[in-house]
Structure 1
Amino acid sequence: MVRFSNWCDSAFEVVGSHALQVISARAADTANGCVAVAAIVSEHYAAEVQVARILRRLGRPKAAAFIENKLPTTKSIRSGDLGEILATEYITGETPYDVPIKRLRWKDHRNMAMRGDDVIGLMRDQATGRLHFLKTEAKSRAALAGGVVTEAREGLDKEGGLPSAHALEFISARLMEAGEDALADAIDDALLKYGIAPQTVTHLLFTFSGNDPGNILRTNLQGYAGGYPQHYIGVRIDAHGAFIANVYDRVIADANHG
């Protein structure tokens, strides 16, 4: 778990009826943040049980090569992937929602971005057993600009603001393969039996940037006129590009040396 509070400061505010949070890495603790993030990156690309099996059968050099071959090599894809990874970690660590699969494991190619909803968080209503959904768009830029946030906003508004059926079908299929039948059935019920009610959906717009995202996110959030609850989260690390490079370098080093 990334545990942002261990290396970041956080500022929260209410914008209308919605929430805005800016999470800023402390300069003195950024190296600790790099270690924390690097520790969870490989599991987003490869199942731990598969890595452990390769390690047991073929040894550390082959296991390290397997992990390294899963990691993107281009700066832009690394940036986008890490934004999605941080969003996933934020959801699982800071919200009541869960992200039941790590979808980067199913990339078509390590230097290609995945299509569809970036992340979907799920939460079961204990009284009814039905699901609530956190539809998420994640963006990563060294210098975040208003147009990027507008693009994320447009992504959240697709499908009438609901999570796409294609994305949920993908999650359901992966859960079924993993033997998580009950949660897969709950997704299928939402899609095929009950329908997804708008009141069960919340939006999360997540950014990862080198500049302060506060004003850009606040302005976009003030202009939102839809009916879904909104949570805008901006993670700021001043040395954005260097942080990303250091994270991936450390993932490779840790895989080789343990």
Structure 2
Amino acid sequence: MCAEEVTGRKRLWLLTEKAGGREQVWALLLETVRSHYDHLDRLASDVARLGYEKAAEILQTRMPTDGRARSGDLGEILASELAGDTLGYRIPVKRLRFKDGRNMALRGDDFIGVVISQHGQLRLLKGESKSRQELAKTTITEAREALDRDDGRCTPESLLFVADRLLDSNDAADQALGQALRDEIGLKSLPTGRIDHMLFTLSGNAPPPSLKADLDGVGDDRNQYSVNVRVPDHGDFIGSVFLEAAKLGNL
């Protein structure tokens, strides 16, 4: 269920589970989590060559075992999927595939979305995600500080990472987008109004009043999205997701 509040260019979304909803999306959720760590066609090829158990070992090499790392990763995964499916941004790079340690957090923006308008104009989404059993004001403040960093623009290192991955593609459209992102790092020509922000939170508790207060306090010069997804059994839910996603019998 979703409660939405819209004020100008600001949107606050408070999402809670429907009764029985988890069971309906469970298989899709597991597949989505796997896809953020590896290409699904490669996993299927691993299964065909090696069988489910050995193929699962390959996938598990990328997936975190630490509870805090799992929590952070799942928040980033859900935020990326929401930005793509609901807001129409393309998330061109699944960052978690490029971690140099399964339990290490990646630096930089948690996710970057892109949109190219019919007139060829580039729009970016800079996103921060936080996952906590007990979401508090300090966490919301940390996320907002990260969004405001670099004058509200995507951090150059994060944007360059996405650009380079696109330029490595064999697709001409991806290469053109990658070049546009590299140019933006140097030119900084994109106006504030075309760099949107999303603050995404996954929590066991209901969001504190500071979530709305934070959104109320930001400027109206860009699209601002503030989202909370509440899962009361936060820790158990995350543990179950990663336990089951690491198995490939239902791939």
| Length-normalised TM-score, structure 2 | 0.92
What SS does structure 2 have at the residue aligned with 1:108? coil
The answer to whether 1:188 aligns with 2:182 is yes
CA deviations over 1:155-211 (Å, ceiling 9, x no partner): 000000011111111001111222231221221233345633212111111001111
Higher mean C-alpha displacement, 114-123 vs 41-50? 41-50
The answer to whether 1:220 aligns with 2:211 is no
One of 238, 243, 250 as aligned partner of 2:244? 250
CA contact (8 A) 2:135 2:208 kept: no
What SS does structure 2 have at the residue aligned with 1:148? helix
Q: In the aligned structure 2, how far is the partner of 1:217 from the partner of 1:186?
A: 34
RMSD between aligned alpha carbons? 1.8
The answer to whether 1:134 aligns with 2:125 is yes
What is residue 209 of structure 1 aligned with on the other side? 203
> Post-superposition shift, 1:149?
0.5
> Post-superposition shift, 1:252?
2.0
CA deviations over 1:82-118 (Å, ceiling 9, x no partner): 0000001101110121101101000010011111000
Give the counterpart letter for 1:202 in structure 2: D
One of 226, 236, 241 as aligned partner of 1:232? 226
What SS does structure 2 have at the residue aligned with 1:52? helix
Give the counterpart letter for 2:106 in structure 1: M
What is residue 31 of structure 1 aligned with on the other side? 23
One of 71, 76, 80 as aligned partner of 1:84? 76
Q: In the aligned structure 2, how far is the partner of 1:119 from the partner of 1:70?
A: 18
What SS does structure 2 have at the residue aligned with 1:70? coil
CA contact (8 A) 1:15 1:218 kept: no
CA contact (8 A) 1:34 1:243 kept: no
One of 21, 40, 44 as aligned partner of 2:32? 40
Higher mean C-alpha displacement, 195-204 vs 155-164? 195-204
Q: In the aligned structure 1, how far is the partner of 2:209 from the partner of 2:223?
A: 19
What SS does structure 2 have at the residue aligned with 1:163? coil
What is residue 57 of structure 1 aligned with on the other side? 49
| Length-normalised TM-score, structure 1 | 0.89
Q: In the aligned structure 2, how far is the partner of 1:214 from the partner of 1:21?
A: 13
Give the counterpart letter for 2:178 in structure 1: A
What is residue 66 of structure 1 aligned with on the other side? 58
Task: Give structure 1 stretches of 5+ with no counterpart.
Answer: 1-8
Instruction: For 1:117-196, list aligned pairs within 5 A.
Output: 117-127=109-119, 129-179=120-170, 180-192=174-186, 195-196=189-190
Matched residue count:
248
Q: In the aligned structure 2, how far is the partner of 1:143 from the partner of 1:219?
A: 18
Q: In the aligned structure 2, how far is the partner of 1:102 from the partner of 1:81?
A: 11
Aligned sequence identity (%): 38
Alpha carbons of 1:35 and 1:256: their partners in 2 closer, same or farther (altered >3 Å)? closer
CA contact (8 A) 2:137 2:208 kept: no
Q: In the aligned structure 2, how far is the partner of 1:17 from the partner of 1:215?
A: 20
Q: In the aligned structure 1, how far is the partner of 2:192 from the partner of 2:153?
A: 7
Give the counterpart letter for 2:226 in structure 1: Y
> Post-superposition shift, 1:257?
5.3
Task: Give structure 2 stretches of 5+ with no counterpart.
Answer: none
What is residue 4 of structure 1 aligned with on the other side? none
Give the counterpart letter for 2:202 in structure 1: F
CA contact (8 A) 1:22 1:214 kept: no
